[in-house]
Amino acid sequence: MIRQSHVYLESKKRRELIDITKEINSLIAGEKGPGLLNIYVPHTTAGLIINENESGLKDDIVNLFEKLAPKNGDYKHNLVDSNADAHLLSIFLKNNASIPFSDGKMMLGTWQSVFLAELDGPRQRQIIITIIS
Ligand code: ZN
């Protein structure tokens, strides 16, 4: 069976990592058997990161964003919009991930969490979850 859900969330900062692991696990909590889910981010200034939820590391990642694409860089896209840095950073991130699940939980490694990486917040974001079980 295939079903689909949306997760909506509000980011609070211009750049931040938002842990969405619990929200996604809640969508498969009743699933006993093995399955596969796909997480899709339909945005051009946000992306997915799977990594450790440790506050220092999250700061390091946001600091890396600034080194890779400084907010006030000289960008052509900023002639029509003001978020070129966010578009540029998003090309280095994933816009989707497929994750196996079993016993109502994603089969993540011990230190893995799933994050929405907000690159041009604050704003409302949506994530599309397709569940195959
Ligand atoms: Zn733009």
- On whether the pTM is more than 0.75, the answer is yes
Fold classified for 2-132? Jelly Rolls (2.60.120)
State in Å: Cα 76 to ligand 1 middle.
10
- Residue 75 confidence (pLDDT) above 90: yes
What is the mean pLDDT of the segment spanning 74-97?
97
The beta strand positions in 11-90, using DSSP E, are: 16-19, 35-40, 46-51
For residue 42, how far is its CA from the centre of ligand 1 (angstroms)?
14
The set of residues, in sequence order, having a beta carbon less than 8 Å from that of 123 and lying 6+ positions away, is 10, 11
Q: How far is the CA of 46 from the centre of ligand 1 (A)?
A: 11
Tokens of 115: 């994050």
Here the tokens at position 50 are: 């799977």
What contacts 49, CB < 8 A, 6 or more positions away? 17, 61, 93, 94, 114, 115, 117
Distance from residue 22's CA to the centre of ligand 1 (Å): 30
pLDDT at 112: 98
Instruction: Using the predicted structure, report yes or no on whether residue 33 has a pLDDT greater than 90.
Output: no
Compute the distance from residue 81 Cα to the ligand 1 centre, in Å: 5
129 CA from centroid of ligand 1 (Å): 25
CA of 91 to the centre of ligand 1 (A): 13
Q: Which amino acid is at 129?
A: I
Average pLDDT, the chain: 97
